[in-house]
Chain A
Amino acid sequence: MKGVRHYPGFLAITVLCLVVLYAPLLVIMAYSFNGSTSITTWGGLSLHWYVDVFTGAEAARFGQAAWNSLTIAVIAATASTAIATAAAVAMIRGGTFRGKRATFALINMPLMVPEIVTAVATLIFFAMIGLTTGYLTILIAHVTFCIPFAYLPIAARLQGIEGHYEQAARDLYASRWQAFRLILLPLMAPGVVSGYLLAFIISLDDFIITNFVKGAGMETLPTAIFGSVKQGIKPNIMAISTLMLVVSILFVALSYLINRKGRRSP
């Protein structure tokens, strides 16, 4: 059999994809170390813009936005992971019950619904029930759309754990709760951690829904960056973007590593 390399156009398509995907990221990363104030001409290597991020004119604004982003991501990831774990146990260990397929569809629907639709709908919903937009509305929206992302790795992991471990625990005088806490939860931990990290990243990264439900004066990092870029791109944005990219990559790598370790020793 011929290797994939020998398919016609393989090289061209690969290079094209890589360039389109990664060239902009590389440019941003490189220019975040640019010594000049221009975003197009190279002025030598410098950490100037990183210093500017933490001490410059916009530092306070971005600091507050970063803090909001971080606390929202932590709370949203925690809440959605807890909900997703409960949902996964119910779906996979709950036997057959009426409306199981419908439940599965409902849990995963947010992945399919266009984000802009969810954003508009959520905003209208908050307006209808009279909830003032702000930190709380962002948080509620984030918890909601993070659930399916947390659910996927948790459910995948749980699916691979055979039911006889819990039965053995029950047989050895463990209550339902003890069997869950002492046996099932440790076994599904890699999936739970993976789900948590994924939810965290998704929350940290969200722009569209956040932008709709954040209300005046409230910013997360993505909305703050967007607001800043509207007035023209300054190199400090590149430094912030690079920092976010690094954090994201770290989290995804961590999630991957934990999942892989978990799979090796089930």
Chain B
Amino acid sequence: MSDAIDIRRVVKRYGTFTALHGVSLTIRDNEFFTLLGPSGCGKTTLLRMIAGFEDVTQGEILLFGQNIAGLEPDHRPVNTVFQNYALFPHMSVLDNVAFGLKMKGMAAGPRRARAGKMLEMVHLSAFADRLPAQLSGGQQQRVALARALAPEPRVLLLDEPLSALDLKLRQAMRVELKQLQEDTGITFIFVTHDQEEALTMSDRIAVMSAGHVQQIGSARDIYEAPVNRFVADFIGETNLLEVEVASVQAGMARVVLPGGQQVTCPSATDTLGRHALSIRPERLSLIAAEGDMTATVERVVYLGTDLQLLMRLDGGADMQVRIQNSARTDVPQIGARLGLRIEEGAARLLAD
């Protein structure tokens, strides 16, 4: 597999403000790659630099091995689905979809045929003659998708395309988008701040914060093996405990929990001293109040499929525990004292 995009130590400054601090990442051909991070971390900025709307301050971007610096947006084989869709308000849906083909010089006949096909693909054939303003948000989103895919770009950039849709539609569109990506084989670079969206669709995810890439990996990698506090905290929910590292060797650490219990766990660091230990709430189980970690139940939150228990360790730290809400579960009482057991391999020592 070749690389679709190679971003090398890219820096972006707006005046004195640095939006991206030397970002490096490689996106493979045919990959569904997601840029995930909180608002303002530089996702859109990076996407706009790939599309050609923003100059690169430092570093370089290669598109299929070619440096695209100085290439105008219309000379990049890359199309964008804009966050607000940016459908041309004065053109019919069909003309919107056909626009890129027209600019590429395709004759009117084949152009209309292909645009029609694209509309069929997004189930909007019946709306070809409408103006964008006469469509719902979800329909506009599909038109934007069809418009960007029609000229067969090698890379498709999607900037939070689902954020304006309601939950049900968003979930349906996730599946459709993923399917579309697999069918067309086009490289998708998808921007979102919604971690669930990122986890469900992506081949790989780059987690960003404040202009830095924090971690790149599959959904499983970043959920199971976060490298630092930011990633552990941003992806899913986690308990972060301050622990003393007794020894580290070959990626495994022996740490001392607040209660004095010692556990061995995978480690993202190889230095001794105080570090954060991440334990996912669903990887903790409740046992009778004995052993080294005992806690008091402070709140029980009913989540439907799960129960979330907010507990306070005897040492003073807060812990969240998630248990399945099966018919056999006895719901713990508020104020109950229970023991916590960390499942094998459930904890992970973080770098910072």
Q: Which residues of A contact B (CB under 8 A)?
A: 162, 164-165, 167-175, 178, 183, 186-187, 265-266
Q: Pick the residue among B79, B84, B89 that contacts A171 (CB under 8 A).
A: B79
Q: Which residues of B contact A187 (CB under 8 A)?
A: 89-90
Q: Tell me if A169 and B89 are in contact (CB < 8 A).
A: no
Shortest C-beta distance, B52 to chain A (Å), equals 8
Bound CA–CA A173/B82 (angstroms): 15
Q: Tell me if A165 and B86 are in contact (CB < 8 A).
A: yes
Shortest C-beta distance, B116 to chain A (Å), equals 17
Shortest C-beta distance, A169 to chain B (Å), equals 7
Q: Tell me if A165 and B88 are in contact (CB < 8 A).
A: yes
Q: Tell me if A172 and B147 are in contact (CB < 8 A).
A: yes
Shortest C-beta distance, B263 to chain A (Å), equals 52
Q: Pick the residue among B88, B131, B148 that contacts A169 (CB under 8 A).
A: B88
Q: Tell me if A174 and B74 are in contact (CB < 8 A).
A: yes
Bound CA–CA A167/B53 (angstroms): 7
Q: Pick the residue among A170, A174, A186 that contacts B90 (CB under 8 A).
A: A186
| Interface status of B133 (Cβ within 8 A of chain A) | yes
Q: Which residues of B contact A170 (CB under 8 A)?
A: 52-53, 72-74
What is the number of contacts between chain A and chain B, taking CB atoms within 8 Å?
62
Q: Which residues of A contact B211 (CB under 8 A)?
A: none
Q: Tell me if A167 and B86 are in contact (CB < 8 A).
A: yes
| Interface status of B294 (Cβ within 8 A of chain A) | no
Shortest C-beta distance, A177 to chain B (Å), equals 11
Q: Tell me if A173 and B103 are in contact (CB < 8 A).
A: yes
Q: Which residues of A contact B80 (CB under 8 A)?
A: 167-168, 171
Bound CA–CA A236/B73 (angstroms): 63
Bound CA–CA A266/B84 (angstroms): 15
* Apart from A169-B88, A172-B100, 15 more pairs, CB < 8 Å: A164-B82, A164-B84, A165-B86, A165-B89, A168-B88, A169-B99, A169-B103, A170-B52, A171-B73, A172-B74, A172-B79, A172-B99, A174-B99, A178-B103, A265-B133
Bound CA–CA A189/B104 (angstroms): 25
Shortest C-beta distance, B103 to chain A (Å), equals 4
- Pick the 5 closest A-B CB pairs, nearest first: A172-B100, A173-B103, A168-B86, A164-B86, A170-B73
Chain B CB within 10 Å, residue with most, of A171, A173, A175: A171
| Interface status of B51 (Cβ within 8 A of chain A) | yes
Bound CA–CA A171/B133 (angstroms): 21
Could you show 5 A-B contacts with beta carbons less than 8 Å apart?
A164-B82, A164-B84, A169-B88, A171-B78, A187-B89
Q: Which residues of A contact B226 (CB under 8 A)?
A: none
Q: Which residues of A contact B74 (CB under 8 A)?
A: 170-175
Bound CA–CA A170/B148 (angstroms): 12
| Interface status of B151 (Cβ within 8 A of chain A) | yes
Flag B75-104 by CB within 8 Å of A: 1 or 0 each. Answer: 000111010101111100000000110011
Shortest C-beta distance, B156 to chain A (Å), equals 11
Bound CA–CA A186/B91 (angstroms): 10
Q: Which residues of A contact B78 (CB under 8 A)?
A: 171
Contact A174:B84 (CB < 8 A) given known A167-B53, A167-B73, A186-B90: no
Q: Which residues of A contact B87 (CB under 8 A)?
A: 168
Bound CA–CA A162/B86 (angstroms): 9
Bound CA–CA A173/B106 (angstroms): 12
Considering the complex, give the chain A residue whose CB is closest to the CB of B79: A171
Bound CA–CA A55/B79 (angstroms): 66
Shortest C-beta distance, A262 to chain B (Å), equals 10
Residues of B163-194 contacting chain A, CB below 8 A: none
Q: Which residues of B contact A167 (CB under 8 A)?
A: 51, 53, 73, 80, 82, 86
Shortest C-beta distance, A165 to chain B (Å), equals 6
Bound CA–CA A92/B160 (angstroms): 27
Considering the complex, give the chain A residue whose CB is closest to the CB of B103: A173
Q: Tell me if B104 and A173 are in contact (CB < 8 A).
A: yes
Q: Which residues of B contact A169 (CB under 8 A)?
A: 88, 99, 103
Considering the complex, give the chain B residue whose CB is closest to the CB of A164: B86
Q: Which residues of B contact A171 (CB under 8 A)?
A: 51-53, 73-74, 78-80, 148
Bound CA–CA A170/B147 (angstroms): 13
Bound CA–CA A173/B52 (angstroms): 12
Q: Tell me if A172 and B82 are in contact (CB < 8 A).
A: no
Considering the complex, give the chain B residue whose CB is closest to the CB of A172: B100
Shortest C-beta distance, A265 to chain B (Å), equals 7
